[in-house]
Amino acid sequence: MSSFRFKSLREATNRQPVAVEQSSVKTSEFFGINVFDRYKMHQNLSKEAYNNVVEAIDKGTKIDRKIANQVATGMKAWAIDRGATHYTHWFQPLNGATAEKHDAFFELSDNGSVIENFNGDMLVQQEPDASSFPSGGIRNTFEARGYTAWDPSSPAFVIGKTLCIPTIFVSYTGEALDYKTPLLKSLNALDNAAVAVCKYFDKDVTKVIATLGWEQEYFLVDEALFFARPDLWITGRTLMGHSSAKDQQLEDHYFGSIPDRVLAFMREFEIEALKLGIPVKTRHNEVAPNQFECAPVFEEANLAVDHNQLLMDIMAKIAQNHKFRVLLHEKPYKSVNGSGKHNNWSLMTNEKKNLLSPGKNPKTNIQFLTFLINIVRAVYEYDDLLRAGIASHGNEHRLGANEAPPAIMSVFIGTQLTSLLNDLEKRVTGKKLSPDEKADIKLDIGKIPEILLDNTDRNRTSPFAFTGNRFEFRAVGSSANCASAMIVLNTAVASQLKEFKKDVDALIKKRVKKDEAILQVLRKYIVESKRIRFEGNGYCDEWINEALKRGLKNTIDTTEALKTFVTEKSLKLFTDLKVLSEREMYARYEITLESYKNNIQIESRVLGDLALNHIIPTAVKYQNILIENVKGLKDIFGEKEFKVIASTEIQAIQEISNNINAIKQLVIDMIEERKKANVITDIHLKAEKYTKNVKPFLENIRTHIDKLEMIVDDELWPLPKYRELLFIR
């Protein structure tokens, strides 16, 4: 009997549910307690320092050295008071994780005594060794230094005993090596472009921020079972496993209550999150067994991205207290739904007006339409770039897999808005509008608030759906850094808004009245971007054919999707708006390809090892038992009769051999293909070889292993099965 598997199962089933904390403390009493937010700055900084930081946050102004020293002193005092002994610059390198290098607050003085020290220089800038982070060839080996620089717009926080200071991370030569740098630049570009457009409607708008509310899906798995599955803990997903007789078909998980042990975990990580100022609000079961979702109230996008990264870390840490592991992989199990991260995104003015929410008067309604139509056109114009922004080895298993939005980018706006756009298209003719025509349009536009009020129109199969007062980008992968998708979206919309302003101004110059000019340009965009709008079921096959007819791309392949990063059009977009330079774009492209290739390489190695060391020996063992049995039957029943009596065993012996032989050969062939791919130096060709020639083996080998799983005695099987992994006892 496989002791490893049964020990894990025993451990997993013996768990006592941890009591759900019956805390009577109100959230308001501890929310943000570990964050150096405005309130704490106000308490701990001089008036001058406080005003300087606030101005830096709101207007992006620089903080001078003297002020930085004051801020550092106040921040240190607060952090030590919260129990911190160390500080770190906290940043988001391109390998998808978050990075920290902890330094203690103390320094040795000349006479050997220890003094607590943390000054402005340490707050503002650090030079971590960048050599272990991906740089895509930007960083030469002789210049391994990189800079981290303080981002005052995201507040510092204390985790455990460490003060974490959110920073950007750039190479010695100034190129971005992280997500935050281009995210901030894209937000800035969007701010400028959106404010300029807002001025048509409201002169008081001075700033537009992007808001982001993410919904994080994840799986939980028992720790003991997790560690008995090397594929799961090494690659994040199961590379084999026959589907469980029951998984999600009864939908009993989605509608069921949250198990106590899970609730205890949720409660604990939510409290930690709330202490860090992450406004987590919603929790529920998801469709697949052991799949859950967590969502906060939306925030300014830069902060929301930081908070999502933080939350993923916190969840992983707290899960261990409950003997769980969190699976953030997009597709941990083959036969059940995968996980995504829905990015709800909108635009908000300095006056706290949501630009995707129509107002009470015709002017604000036209403003609403302007932003809505421009965003649709941005998706139309840069659909392949949005696709590239969500491309990853994990998301590849999810997009278009009958449960997740397809790899085809399209926009859903609902039937009511669709008919409104259709009407506008008909009514605005390009000629000067008569008073009657104007009245008709006004009437149409005036109806928008009512339309949206009872907008129950929800489409959960669209990758990019308008949901009443925001767009929901649903195709983002569950493990992704939200910034990757947001950088593309912000930049695409910024560019589109700039074009809009140019087009409208050109008409105004020709003496077309402002309102009419806006309507004419919007009508042009409605017509041009029509084919990106799709209101039907995005999961069905008809849509694939329909999209093909419309000329929309359906890029299933990740390496193919990533190519968009370095097309002339994309390079122009990002360099024109100063979000990323050409060198940075190429670097990102290469880093993503490299990571993609590495992941397939690791999966291929793990599967090969498991097949040869775990599966085949187990199958042989069981086959020998069968052989002994058949021999015994032959002894008892004799040459003639045993063949009938032992026919199923004989057939099983044959089937086991067939599968073993197939697996052996496939593993040998797969290793051959890896070798061929590994000698290629061009990373694009190499990644392509991995996709085309190595990846298919994973599925083929798995099929044979899954067949063996159904033949071999359950007691011998060395790995926890799907029915065990998928349910929490």
Residue 608's binding partner, choosing from ligand ADP, Mg ion, none, with beta-carbon cut-off 5 to 8 A by kind?
A: none
Is 285 in contact with 263 (CB distance < 8 Å)? Answer: no
Structure-token pair, residue 512: 């077309």
Please work out, in degrees rounded to the nearest 5, the angle formed at the alpha carbon of residue 193 by the alpha carbons of 190 and 194.
80
Question: How near is the Cβ of 610 to ligand ADP at its closest, in Å?
Answer: 37
Smaller CB distance to ligand ADP: residue 315 or 587?
A: 315
d(CA 393, CA 691): 10
Is 148 in contact with 128 (CB distance < 8 Å)? Answer: yes
d(CA 388, CA 408): 11
* Listed ranges 175-183, 290-298, 385-393, 507-515: which one lies at the site for ligand ADP (CB under 6 A): 290-298
Among 323, 342, 397, 563, which residue interacts with Mg ion (rule: CB under 5 A)?
342
Smaller CB distance to ligand ADP: residue 471 or 565?
A: 471
Please name the residues in contact with 359: beta carbons below 8 A apart, sequence gap of 6 or more. 353, 365, 367, 368, 449
Q: Per-residue x/- mask for ligand ADP, residues 583 to 622, rule CB under 6 A?
A: ----------------------------------------
Contacts 24+ apart (CB under 8 A), 669-672: 669/697, 670/604, 670/608, 670/694, 670/697, 670/701, 671/608
Among 95, 455, 469, 678, which residue interacts with ligand ADP (rule: CB under 6 A)?
469
Smaller CB distance to ligand ADP: residue 379 or 616?
A: 379
Q: Per-residue x/- mask for ligand ADP, residues 237 to 276, rule CB under 6 A?
A: ----------------------------------------
Among 36, 50, 87, 298, which residue interacts with ligand ADP (rule: CB under 6 A)?
298
Q: Evaluate the CA torsion angle 669, 671, 672, 676 in order and state its sign.
A: positive
Q: Evaluate the CA torsion angle 38, 42, 46, 47 in order and state its sign.
A: positive
Residues that contact ligand ADP, how many (by CB under 6 A): 15
* 3-state SS class at 9: helix
d(CA 128, CA 100): 9
* 3-state SS class at 164: strand
Question: How near is the Cβ of 263 to ligand ADP at its closest, in Å?
Answer: 18
Is 216 in contact with 478 (CB distance < 8 Å)? Answer: yes
Task: Single out the residue of 89, 58, 57 nearest to residue 72, CA to CA.
Answer: 89
Tell me: does residue 463 bind ligand ADP (CB under 6 A). Answer: no
* Listed ranges 109-117, 151-159, 208-216, 516-524: which one lies at the site for Mg ion (CB under 5 A): 208-216
Phi, psi of 16 (to 5 degrees): -90, 130
Smaller CB distance to Mg ion: residue 340 or 608?
A: 340
The residues pairing with 19 across neighbouring beta strands, listed in sequence order, are: none
Give start and end residues of each alpha helix (H) in 529-615.
541-550, 558-562, 568-576, 582-610
Q: Which of residues 329-368 bind ligand ADP (CB under 6 A)?
A: 344-346, 354
Question: How near is the Cβ of 325 to Mg ion at its closest, in Å?
Answer: 25
Smaller CB distance to ligand ADP: residue 285 or 564?
A: 285
Amino acid at 381: E
Phi, psi of 360 (to 5 degrees): -95, -20
Smaller CB distance to ligand ADP: residue 214 or 565?
A: 214
Tell me: does residue 700 bind ligand ADP (CB under 6 A). Answer: no
Question: How near is the Cβ of 452 to ligand ADP at its closest, in Å?
Answer: 13
Closest-approach residue to ligand ADP (CB): 213
* Listed ranges 235-243, 341-349, 491-499, 649-657: which one lies at the site for Mg ion (CB under 5 A): 341-349
Among 170, 177, 224, 295, which residue interacts with ligand ADP (rule: CB under 6 A)?
295
Among 470, 533, 588, 689, which residue interacts with ligand ADP (rule: CB under 6 A)?
470
Is 10 in contact with 254 (CB distance < 8 Å)? Answer: no
DSSP for 281-298, please give it.
EEEEE-SSTTEEEEEE--
Give the per-residue SS3 of 673-692: HHHHHHCCCCHHHHHHHHHH
The residues pairing with 87 across neighbouring beta strands, listed in sequence order, are: 103, 163
Amino acid at 412: F
Tell me: does residue 387 bind Mg ion (CB under 5 A). Answer: no
Question: How near is the Cβ of 297 to ligand ADP at its closest, in Å?
Answer: 5
Smaller CB distance to ligand ADP: residue 345 or 722?
A: 345
Smaller CB distance to Mg ion: residue 40 or 470?
A: 470
Tell me: does residue 125 bind ligand ADP (CB under 6 A). Answer: no
* Listed ranges 171-179, 207-215, 299-307, 630-638: which one lies at the site for Mg ion (CB under 5 A): 207-215
Question: How near is the Cβ of 470 to Mg ion at its closest, in Å?
Answer: 10
Please name the residues in contact with 41: beta carbons below 8 A apart, sequence gap of 6 or more. 49, 50, 53, 54, 71, 74
Tell me: does residue 50 bind ligand ADP (CB under 6 A). Answer: no
Among 282, 320, 422, 429, which residue interacts with ligand ADP (rule: CB under 6 A)?
282
Question: How near is the Cβ of 342 to Mg ion at its closest, in Å?
Answer: 4
Residue 346's binding partner, choosing from ligand ADP, Mg ion, none, with beta-carbon cut-off 5 to 8 A by kind?
A: ligand ADP
Smaller CB distance to Mg ion: residue 343 or 570?
A: 343
Smaller CB distance to Mg ion: residue 342 or 501?
A: 342
Smaller CB distance to ligand ADP: residue 213 or 406?
A: 213
Among 98, 211, 216, 599, which residue interacts with ligand ADP (rule: CB under 6 A)?
211
Q: How many CA atoms lie within 13 A of 132 on its CB side?
A: 7
Please name the residues in contact with 256: beta carbons below 8 A apart, sequence gap of 6 or more. 285
Q: Which of residues 215-244 bind ligand ADP (CB under 6 A)?
A: 215
10 Å CB burial of residue 302 (0-12, 13-18, 19+) is: buried
Smaller CB distance to Mg ion: residue 57 or 311?
A: 311
Tell me: does residue 297 bind ligand ADP (CB under 6 A). Answer: yes
Smaller CB distance to ligand ADP: residue 218 or 722?
A: 218
Residue 299's binding partner, choosing from ligand ADP, Mg ion, none, with beta-carbon cut-off 5 to 8 A by kind?
A: none
Smaller CB distance to Mg ion: residue 342 or 689?
A: 342
DSSP for 544-560, please give it.
HHHHHHHT--B---HHH
Smaller CB distance to ligand ADP: residue 212 or 288?
A: 212
* Listed ranges 211-219, 265-273, 504-512, 546-554: which one lies at the site for ligand ADP (CB under 6 A): 211-219
Element (H, E) at 150: strand 146-150
Per DSSP, 565 falls in state G
Question: How near is the Cβ of 301 to ligand ADP at its closest, in Å?
Answer: 8
> For helices 482-509 and 514-528, what crossing angle results, to 10°?
130
Pairing of strands 464-466, 411-412: parallel
Is 579 in contact with 189 (CB distance < 8 Å)? Answer: yes
Q: Per-residue x/- mask for Mg ion, residues 210 to 249, rule CB under 5 A?
A: -----x----------------------------------
Tell me: does residue 490 bind ligand ADP (CB under 6 A). Answer: no
Amino acid at 421: L
Tokens 């008067």 found at: 361
Contact residues for ligand ADP, defined by CB under 6 A: 211-213, 215, 282, 295-298, 344-346, 354, 469-470
Contact residues for Mg ion, defined by CB under 5 A: 215, 342
